[in-house]
Structure 1
Amino acid sequence: MAVHNYDVVVIGTGPAGESAAINAAKHDQRVAIVEKQPQVGGNCTHWGTIPSKALRHQVRQILSFNTNRMFRDIGEPRLFSFPRVMERSRETIDKQVEMRTTFYARNRIDLFQGTARFKDEHTLLVRDRQNATEELVAKKVVIATGSRPYRPGDIDFRHPRIYCSDTILSLAHSPRTMVIFGAGVIGCEYASIFSGLGVKVDLINSRDSLLSFLDDEISDALSYHLRKHGVLVRHNEEYDRVEGDEAGVVVYLKSGKKIRADAFLWANGRTGNTDSLGLENIGLQANGRGQLNVDEHYRTEIPHIYAAGDVIGWPSLASAAYDQGLNSSNELLDKEYRFVTDIPTGIYTIPEISSFGRNERELTEAKIPYEVGKAFFKDTARAQITGDTVGMLKILFHQDTLEILGIHCFGDQASEILHIGQAIMQQKGEANTLRYFINTTFNYPTMAEAYRVAAQNGLNRVF
């Protein structure tokens, strides 16, 4: 068995692992990274963020074609099969893999393909698909193994019509009807995607509202537009059992309802990928969801072993994982680091949602005197030109100081538009007030101009 010595070994090539490894390598550390899948990129590239967002883009193009009167001159509305649309999305995945593979070669990071398991606190055994084993000895280790869909034992995921958010990407037919259980971010995104492909979707939510962490007005807007596109949202429901047969799937709810569909998608929760790491050999223990606890330095209970990304739980976002990996690596290098807390929300439904800061409910509960400024996309020239008139930008600000307290956006390009407000909110003093948007000239016509409109709308409420 070959033995290799490193300063840092990173387990996992998703956003957290990639940023940790490259950062360490750029600071003259000898670095190895381990990936159990045949290609780099992790869940983010192959089953999560990239494929679902690429898929969403294709669906938006189809919706545009089918709803724009100009296109009627060249043809009637079309239905596209899911496999055909997914195949187009795979081109993006291939480009991401090629790009990320070059990152490791360029930074002289040794890439080991196989499953890593702790032998002791400084030693990892990596077993490849041919059962060959190599031993990696590391001064420091970063666990960035990500997560996978939580799959309850009483649902038969081997049935060809029952899917989780990973296996749904291999859907080989175009269902007419679908039940999605779980109305979190993943469930809502896939409800948008499939309804955009003409599938009749039942979205089962165990709570009384969609994405309750959002501003109430934004959550209501999402509910309205999902229903407008044919999604039937069922709140306060739990499943009793799910049965698959030759014709499809029957979902029995505890409320007594019985729903038949061509396909069933389970989108309720995720589990950290820690079960194969041999944590028992080093005295580490994951929680009930397979996640590792870390301190504000991203250290586990063993000081030289760090963890970042989905494997540590909240917020389980690719954007946060990248920052967490970078900062865990900075900390182990004794460089200046930060514990990632202020994170924008980006939800790629159709239309998309993005937010930063506090919402109205939180400000009301905290008894902070706030006011609201709004700009509706339908009133902006750019949205009228593109036809993407659904949505709004909402600014929450302090009534007295005009300090910006929260930015909430719903509509096309919401996750891009939000970053302007995020940048201003993170400035100090007078720079972080509503007046910035009044005193700044925006290109016209742009979606960014909505900040000026919303700011003026807000100022009109307090002066």
Structure 2
Amino acid sequence: MSKRKYDYDLFVIGAGSGGVRAGRLAAQLGKCVGVAEESLPGGTCVVRGCVPKKFLVYGADFGEAIEKAKGYGWSTENVSFDWTVLRDSVQKEVNRLSGIYSTILEKNGAELHRERAELVDAHTVRLCTSGETKTAETILIAVGGSPWTPDIKGIEHAIVSDDVFLLPEQPKRMLVIGGGYIACEFAGVFAGLGTDVIQAYRGGRLLNGFDAEVRDEVGQVQIRNGIDTRFNISPTEIRKTDGGYIVSFNDGSKIGTDCVLMATGRRPKTDTLGLDAAGVDVESSGAITVDEFSRTSQPNIYAVGDVTNRVNLTPVAIREGAAFIETVFKDNPTAFDHDDIASAVFTRPPVGTCGVSEGEARRRYGDDVTVYTTQFRPMKNVLSGSEHRCFMKVITKGKQETVIGVHLVGDDSAEMIQMVGIAIKAKLTKADFDATCAVHPTIAEEIVTLKPRELNKTTVVT
């Protein structure tokens, strides 16, 4: 029996959603698989992202539900909130889920190394704690991203999104710096838990890159949630004082707070991977350059997930990991389709979006675009007294009015967009939507009863 040329058929650096999926599938095919993870298995989503974040959103929603229940006849006296109970409950569940990810790998025969790994050359990785080196015929990089913060004086006094879940106590005042989905979500969470929140952003509207009307609606959502939103300012210094922190901005203003959350974006986590030594090219952003099959500039090294900065969503990393297995180990070259991916932003209420924005639609198709919108007060909010509303937008192209974009802001938007995403992926038309009978009384029924919005065809919404 001939000696194996490499220690592993596949070595995966990073045990997040994409890495675990690929490692498990390869092991199930009988391949010899090694996986290295410096943190808890499960990656950003399970450990410090989507999952614990959504639990915090639920926590804030329960508080609002208790308050709004008065309109439905419920007595809500003597209600209190304990941050440490929520925090510890979330961490207990995170640890349980991380354990499941470990078990998935190990039960399928993959060897899990609980330490950081870096590339030595195209076929060799070094385990940084033990100092061992391992060789592999194929290497998959799935290390994700990490929070980025601006280089300003006193930045060491700020926390990032990774730190939010372990705060020793709930701050009475919080300054959230940033206007992306992470900033908007955490501002909404802590406002809902009773913290006085200021959200400061260098731009003029939140959620850059989203549909313009969605951005405006989310701005109103934050205001209705009691968040003091301030635009067109950037921080220049964070100074610690006896009473908290003073943050200075480029317009001369200063904001006092107990906690500074820098939610200014995430970047691929590639600076300590040894990519140069392995001959792997990166973009100026630090993202690993890959082709449609997730292959890097080094033919035996692949990369999936946020480290490639394509579509930074957990389900996308999972699909990319599965496509990698088809390509490399099943002789079935498979490229994951990154178009028309439904996603959600868990503001309170949330955003659901799939397809192109109106601005992008008009840049691509000019006047050959029809837009349908509505805005209304959900039935649930009538008796509760809630000021939150629902906004819906459907974008179509051509005489057949193929639906190319749907954008929702309001209760249950994240749930609805998953189903609507199927229709967009199937290239259904507005007539197909109209032919679908409504379910009454629901929020979702409005999607199949939308009327066109009158719009000057020379106007481009950006």
- The aligned counterpart of 2:286 is 290
- The aligned counterpart of 1:48 is 49
- The aligned counterpart of 1:240 is 236
Any idea what the Cα deviations from partners look like across 1:153-204, whole Å, max 9, x if unmatched? Answer: 4354554xx2111112221122222111111111111111111112221111
- The aligned counterpart of 2:459 is none
Q: Does 1:341 align with 2:338?
A: yes
Q: Does 1:350 align with 2:351?
A: no
Over 3 Å counting, the alpha-carbon distance change for 1:324 and 1:426 in structure 2 is: same
Any idea what the Cα deviations from partners look like across 1:121-178, whole Å, max 9, x if unmatched? Answer: 11112234xxx3433221101000111111344354554xx21111122211222221
- The aligned counterpart of 2:401 is 402
Return the offset for 1:393: 2.6
Q: For residue 152 of structure 2, give the secondary structure of its aligned residue in structure 1.
A: coil
Q: Tell whether the 8 Å contact from 1:79 to 1:198 is kept in structure 2 after alignment.
A: no
Given candidates 36, 39, 51, the residue that maps to 2:38 is 36
Q: Which amino acid aligns with 2:258?
A: D
* Higher deviation after alignment, 261-270 or 290-299: 290-299
CA distance in 2, matches of 1:292, 1:460: 44
Q: Tell whether the 8 Å contact from 1:320 to 1:340 is kept in structure 2 after alignment.
A: no
Over 3 Å counting, the alpha-carbon distance change for 1:441 and 1:71 in structure 2 is: closer
Q: Does 1:184 align with 2:185?
A: no
Q: Which amino acid aligns with 1:309?
A: G
Over 3 Å counting, the alpha-carbon distance change for 1:77 and 1:211 in structure 2 is: farther
Q: Does 1:228 align with 2:224?
A: yes
Q: Does 1:15 align with 2:17?
A: yes
Given candidates 318, 322, 329, the residue that maps to 1:326 is 322
CA distance in 2, matches of 1:273, 1:140: 20
Return the offset for 1:40: 0.9
Give the TM-score normalised by structure 1.
Answer: 0.89
Q: Tell whether the 8 Å contact from 1:396 to 1:407 is kept in structure 2 after alignment.
A: yes
Over 3 Å counting, the alpha-carbon distance change for 1:77 and 1:228 in structure 2 is: farther
- The aligned counterpart of 1:275 is 271
Q: Does 1:194 align with 2:195?
A: no
- The aligned counterpart of 2:66 is 65
CA distance in 2, matches of 1:460, 1:216: 16
Return the offset for 1:18: 1.4
Q: Structure 2: give runs of 5+ residues left out of the alignment.
A: 456-462
Q: For residue 362 of structure 1, give the secondary structure of its aligned residue in structure 2.
A: helix
- The aligned counterpart of 1:154 is 152
* Higher deviation after alignment, 434-443 or 104-113: 434-443
- The aligned counterpart of 1:415 is 414
Over 3 Å counting, the alpha-carbon distance change for 1:125 and 1:420 in structure 2 is: same
CA distance in 1, matches of 2:438, 2:73: 35
Q: Tell whether the 8 Å contact from 1:66 to 1:78 is kept in structure 2 after alignment.
A: no
- The aligned counterpart of 2:447 is 451
Return the offset for 1:247: 1.5
Return the offset for 1:383: 7.8
CA distance in 2, matches of 1:18, 1:340: 20
CA distance in 2, matches of 1:221, 1:460: 19
Over 3 Å counting, the alpha-carbon distance change for 1:280 and 1:371 in structure 2 is: closer
Q: Tell whether the 8 Å contact from 1:142 to 1:305 is kept in structure 2 after alignment.
A: yes
* Higher deviation after alignment, 117-126 or 248-257: 117-126
Any idea what the Cα deviations from partners look like across 1:355-391, whole Å, max 9, x if unmatched? Answer: 1112222223331422233454636x68879998731
Given candidates 361, 372, 380, the residue that maps to 2:359 is 361
* Higher deviation after alignment, 142-151 or 90-99: 90-99
Q: Does 1:76 align with 2:74?
A: no
CA distance in 1, matches of 2:88, 2:200: 28
Return the offset for 1:80: 2.1
Return the offset for 1:57: 1.0
Q: Which amino acid aligns with 1:396?
A: I
